Amino acid sequence: MMTFLILATAGLLAVQAALGGSFLVLRRSAMLTDAMAHSLLPGLVVGYLFSGSRSGPEVIFFAAVSSFLSAYLIDFLNKFAGIWFEASTGFVFTSLFSIGIVLTTALGGNIDLDADCILYGELLYVPFRYSSTQSWYDLLPLPLWNQIWVSFAWAIFLFFKWKQLKIWAFDEGFCRNAEIQHHSIRRSTLVLTSMSIVVGFDAFGAVLVVGFFILPAATAWLISKTYKSMLLNSIVFGVGSIALGYVLALAFDWEPGPSMVCVAGLNFMIAALRYRQKKSGSGFRPTH
C-alpha cells in the first residue's frame, strides 16, 4: 500500500509535468521550470512564517505567487525590456533563489528548511502525511490529494482550451492574428505549471520536479512525429521512469527522486543518440 501511494503521487506529477513540459519545450522555454522551481523559495519561507508548517495552505499560496512572479518577471524582461530570455531567466532565478537563501539563513533555527528538503524532498514520507481532520479527507495522504486537485485543474484547462493551446504552442504570431487571447493562454499555462511545481516541491524536491518537466517532454520531442504522440510519449516516459527509478532506489538504497531523474536522463540520452544516427529530417519539430 505504501508503494502504491508513493507511485500514485509521483505518477500524477509525471502526467502534469508531461503536459506542461511539452508546451514549454515547444515554446523553447523548458528551463523556465527550473527558474520557477527555485524561485518559490522566498514564498516558501514567508508561507512557513504564517503557518508554521511546510505543507499548510499559506505555504502553497505564497510559494505559488513567488513561482508565478518569477515567470512573469522573466517574460517582462524578455518581451518589454528586450533582454534575452536566457539572461532574464538567469537574473530572476538567481536573484529570487538568493533572497530565499538569505531569508532562510537569517531565520536560522526558527525555520525547518534544509538542503535535503529543497533538493530531494521527502518522497518516502508521503504515505505518512495525513491531514488529521478525522474526515473522508484522511483516506489519502495530503501530497496525493494535492496532486489530484492540480491534475483535475489541468484536465479542465485542456478540455476547454485544447485547440487554442495547440495554436499557441506552435505559432504565437498566428495565435495573435487569429485574435486568440494568447496572453491569457500563456498565463494560465504558467499558473498551472506553478501549481504543479509547488505541490510537488515539498514531496519530491527541486531535482525531481524540474527533471520531469524537462526530460520526458524533451525525449518525446526527439522521437515523435505528431503532437498527440509527443504528449502520450511524454507521459509514458515520465511514468515509466518513476516506476523503474523507484525499483532501482529500493534495490541499491538510493534517493528515490534523483534515481527517477537519472532514468529519465538515460532515456533522453538513448533517444538523442538514436536520433543522431538516423539523421531523419521528417521528425516532429516546433516551428520556431
Angle between helices 32-39 and 41-51 (to 10 degrees): 30
Burial readout 216-238 (b: 16 or more C-beta within 10 A, e: otherwise): bbbbbbbbbeeeeebbebbbbbb
Classify 110 as helix, strand or coil.
Answer: helix
Q: How many angstroms separate the CA atoms of 196 and 10, rounded?
A: 11
Domains of the chain: 2-278 (1.10.3470.10)
As a whole number of angstroms, the distance between CA 45 and CA 101 comes to 9
pLDDT (tens, 9 = 90+) of the chain, 288 residues, equals 788 888 999 999 999 998 888 888 888 887 888 788 878 888 878 887 877 666 667 777 888 888 888 888 888 887 777 777 778 888 888 888 888 888 877 775 555 555 555 555 677 778 887 777 777 777 888 888 889 999 999 999 988 888 888 777 776 666 666 666 777 787 788 888 888 888 887 777 777 788 889 999 999 998 888 888 888 999 999 999 999 999 999 999 888 888 899 999 999 999 988 876 665 554 555 544
CA 242 to chain centre: 14
Q: Which of 190, 158, 175, 170 is nearest to 15 (CA)?
A: 158
Of the candidates 153, 155, 190, 220, the residue with the CA atom closest to the CA atom of residue 33:
190
